[in-house]
Amino acid sequence: MQYNDLSYEKLSDRIYVCISNEHRFGTDAFLLAHFAKARRKDVAADFCSGNGIAALLLERDYSPKRIYALEIQKKAYDQLCLSAEKSDIENDKIIPVLGDLKEFKSDEELDLIICNPPYKADGAGIKNDTEASSIARHEMLCTIDDVCKSASRNLKFGGRLCVCNRPERLCDIMVAMRKNNLEPKRARFVSKNKKTSPWLVLVEGKKGSKPFMKIEPQFYTQSEDGTGFSDELKALYKLEVRS
């Protein structure tokens, strides 16, 4: 494993994430982990894990029983392994898996799956400069239907799939969930402030559940005076919140 562009960012006193030019992370990973709210007894998986950021945040904030971190790109997977090795985490709490989610079958039924999938449908928009970036952002190797199909196969009855995506993909998400016996149960939109349209939507689907959906209060990332982060976002970043 020889890469010359790796560095680490500290998520807590015991947890680090390895980043590279191709595989970094954004606010959406923090929002997804917070939205999913894993329980300590949960056996979870992080699909499209990248460098493992969302899995590491689940461990930092909720400490579920186990997390399978599934990634198809070798360099991102290597970063995921380095992140897990550098962090002070119990053995087998985060299990990196190099593979295709379309073929993934867990050795145990899962309580929770989170996924920060490629946002753009393949063929929509301009591809990125590098193949790695294009794969991460466009549905070149998997679609939202592939995510939901694999989630349905691996979740126990009543298990949850939590995803984030662009609001324009909301219909695609809900159609794919219902098609695969994952009933949409919760959604939350994320905006910069009260005057701007949402730039992200978070959706939870529950396997085998009856129809009923809760729309949660809007999440704003900017403070009311527009000078910095909102208190809710600061809490996710573990920054000081002034009362």
Cα–Cα distance measured from residue 224 to residue 159, given in angstroms and rounded to the nearest whole number:
36
Question: For position 190, which CATH number holds?
Answer: 3.40.50.150
* Residue whose C-alpha is closest to residue 85's, from 32, 14, 25: 14
Residue 175 falls within a domain, yes or no? yes
Per residue in 52-97, pLDDT (tens digit) is: 999 999 999 999 999 999 999 999 999 999 999 999 999 889 999 9
In a domain, 162, yes or no: yes
Question: Per the domain annotation, does 193 fall within a domain?
Answer: yes
203: left (phi over 0), alpha (psi -120 to 50) or beta: beta
Confidence of residue 139 (pLDDT cuts 50, 70, 90): low
The answer to whether 147 and 176 are in contact (CB under 8 A) is: yes
Q: Answer yes or no: is pLDDT of 129 > 70.
A: no
List strand residue ranges (DSSP E) for 116-178, in order: 155-165
H/E stretch holding 71 reads: strand 66-71
Q: How confident is the model at residue 123 (pLDDT cuts 50, 70, 90)?
A: low
Q: Flag whether 214 is in a domain.
A: yes
Radius of gyration of the chain (CA): 17
Give a yes or no: residue 243 inside a domain.
no
Residue 13 domain boundaries? 7-237
The pLDDT of residue 122:
53
What's the confidence (pLDDT) of residue 126?
A: 47
Q: Is 196 a member of any domain? A: yes
The pLDDT of residue 243 is: 43
Residue 150 lies in a domain: yes
Share of the chain above pLDDT 70, in %: 89
Average pLDDT of the residues in 100-127: 83
Q: pLDDT at position 141, please?
A: 77
State the average pLDDT over residues 115-138: 59
Kindly tell me if the per-residue pLDDT of 194 is higher than 80. Answer: yes
pLDDT of the residue at 124: 46
Number of domains in the chain: 1
Average pLDDT of the chain to the nearest whole number = 91
**pLDDT attached to residue 59:** 97
The predicted-structure confidence for 166-184, as pLDDT tens digits, reads as follows 999 999 999 999 999 999 9
More confident residue, 66 or 135: 66
Residue 242 placed within a domain: no
Residues 6+ apart with CB under 8 A from 140: 118, 122, 134
